[in-house]
Amino acid sequence: MVTAESLNEAVEKICGSGIRITGRRPVFGGDINRAYALDLSDGSVIFMKANLRQKIGIFEGEAESLDFIRQTGTIRSPEVLAIGTDGDLSFLLLEYISSGRPGKASSEELGAGLARMHQADTSAFVTGGKYGALHDHLLGSGMQDNTPMDSWPEFFAECRLRPQFERASSWFDNGTRRKIDTLLEHPDLYLPETVRPSLLHGDLWAGNYMVDDRGHPWLIDPAAYVGHAETDLALTELFGGFDRTFYDAYRNIEEIDPCYRDRRDLYNLYHLVKHLNLFGSGYLSPVLSILRKYSRE
């Protein structure tokens, strides 16, 4: 991956001296970053994400996450070409993927590829513990804590749930805070240790994969870390967009514990509290409902 102090420098380092940007076309679909297809003077196209200069941490985390996924060799993800700053902007340059239409074959490939990724060796992605990542990642407007730990229930409680609950504390009354404290103090009552730590996409809803013009699925916009495979599966069910073909293909390669259903909502509690912090009261009711479900007061 190239690092550069200007966009033009990055393009020349990637494509060769004299190559210039000849056009910039907006690409829609993201909420946090601006995105463009950059047409180059040699006829090629690269994909660019841009944000404020001080938000470069978003791109550092995404670049590391994409690299993790590509290292597994199990499922397609865009190659990271360059990262850098240009004036008051930060940018990430990626391989450009021409989009196509999803279908049964792409759903099967996505499910099978995710299962294989969940089976891949994770030793290169975290040190000093079984779970976490090499670095913390800036996810949206907040930091995602990837401190390595050897206990999955402890990691999920301390590095996922606790930071979001602390940010959201003003939404909760005393009774709800007691439920939260019980959950955070005894996560092992609700979550098992993993049979095998897995590399996770980390933000796997339907908007974070795409299908190319040949019908192959690609994972995009990851916030990758090592954890329990069930957390990826849970998020695929939170906002929909994944069909039965996807889950059948996954199960053909990787068994899903029958007790997963008992834990699914707890995994998704992290994302719902995060959305409560980002978007407000519309997410309060499902958060409270899940807390009641798992309360053991």
pTM (two decimals): 0.95
Q: What are the Cα distances from residue 215, in Å, to 99, 101, 132, 143, 211?
A: 9, 7, 32, 34, 6
CB 216 within 8 A of CB 75: no
CA angle, 160 then 163 then 164, to 5°: 80
Please state, in angstroms and rounded to a whole number, the distance separating the CA atoms of residues 64 and 130.
18
In the three-class reduction of DSSP (H, G, I as helix; E, B as strand; rest coil), residue 275 is classed as helix
Residue with tokens 């059948």: 248
Identify the pLDDT of residue 296.
Answer: 66
Return the SS3 of 116.
helix
N-term to C-term CA, the chain? 51
Encode the chain (297 residues) as per-residue pLDDT tens digits. 899 999 999 999 999 999 999 999 999 876 789 999 999 999 999 999 999 999 999 999 999 999 999 999 999 999 999 999 999 999 999 999 999 999 999 999 999 999 999 999 999 999 999 999 999 988 766 789 999 999 999 999 999 999 999 999 999 999 999 999 999 999 999 999 988 999 999 999 999 999 999 999 999 999 999 999 999 999 999 998 899 999 999 999 999 999 999 999 999 999 999 999 999 999 999 999 999 999 865
Residues 6+ apart with CB under 8 A from 264: 230, 233, 234, 237
pLDDT in tens, 155-197: 999 999 999 999 999 999 999 999 999 999 999 999 999 889 9
Q: What pLDDT score does 134 carry? A: 96
Q: Which residues are catalytic?
A: 203
Domains of the chain: 7-95 (3.30.200.20), 104-294 (3.90.1200.10)
Owner of token pair 């033009």: 8
Residues 132 and 198 sit within 8 Å (Cβ to Cβ): no
Q: Which two tokens stand for residue 79?
A: 């190659």
The two beta strands, 142-144 and 137-139, are antiparallel
Placement of tokens 């499922």 in the chain: 75
List beta partners, residue 137. 144
Q: Return left, alpha or beta for 181; rule: phi > 0 is left, psi -120 to 50 is alpha, else beta.
A: alpha
